[in-house]
Amino acid sequence: MCDFLSIAVRADGAVAKTAGNSHSGAVKAAGWRENDQMADLRGKYFVEVEWNCEGDYPGADKISRGEINEKQRKVIDGIYDGAAKLLADPAKNAERMLFGAGIFAGDEYADLRWKTLINPKCPKRVATKLVGLLLHANGERIKSFDPRITKIEGNLAIEDGYEISAPALVKVGGYLDVSGSAKLDALTKVGGDLAV
């Protein structure tokens, strides 16, 4: 798994992304061919891009693995500048970016939905909409949990010293790491390791 927020971008500006933040998984899901040993001579089919979306957006050249053209730069700047703005001020940006025709409305951005939901600045009106959508946790250690969530894809980790109540949570797609304590009455499936 790559770091949050990971994408692959072809020379024509097409984007491959999965909520699990795997470059190879995104390329496979998009049906693209992988870069091979000849890529250095003829050029790469795509570039890999990732940034944690913390702080000021550093620009496409600093977060891309390899040279990028102007189409790629424009797409990368749009996605990552948008994600930085979303996470910096979800009250202002979440409605237009995460729902309807928003740039991050697709399920491939379920990881960004999760990051928005666990953001202390996430408004209740946004949280109410997000809990009913696909969410993908990336193993961030959380201190609270919305009790309306019924399933989480990815890896869920509870911070040491904190207690959460997840009465409706039925499934965690990846691992579940409970360093603190958790009330998980409905939980029936954990897709990976369970550490308590």
**In this model, does residue 41 exceed pLDDT 70?**
no
How many C-beta atoms lie closer than 10 Å to residue 88's C-beta?
16
Measured in whole angstroms, the distance separating CA 141 from the mean position of its chain's CA atoms is: 15
Query: What pLDDT score does 1 carry?
Result: 44
Please give the Cα distance from 175 to 18 (Å, whole number): 18
Backbone angles phi, psi at 35, to 5 degrees: -65, 140
**pLDDT confidence bin for 2, thresholds 50/70/90:** low
**In this model, does residue 54 exceed pLDDT 80?**
yes
46 with 28: CB under 8 angstroms? no
**pLDDT confidence bin for 39, thresholds 50/70/90:** low
Query: What pLDDT score does 35 carry?
Result: 83
**pLDDT confidence bin for 37, thresholds 50/70/90:** confident
**In this model, does residue 143 exceed pLDDT 70?**
yes
Helix (H) or strand (E) holding 9: strand 6-10
Longest dimension (CA), the chain: 56
Strands 176-178 and 171-172, how do they pair?
unpaired
> Regarding predicted confidence, which is higher, 194 or 79?
79
**In this model, does residue 7 exceed pLDDT 90?**
yes
**pLDDT confidence bin for 72, thresholds 50/70/90:** very high
pLDDT in tens, 151-183: 999 999 999 989 999 999 999 999 999 988 889
CA atoms within 13 A on the CB side of 172: 21
**In this model, does residue 8 exceed pLDDT 90?**
yes
Query: In the 8-state DSSP scheme, what is residue 183?
Result: E
Written as six digits, the tokens of 11 are: 């020379």
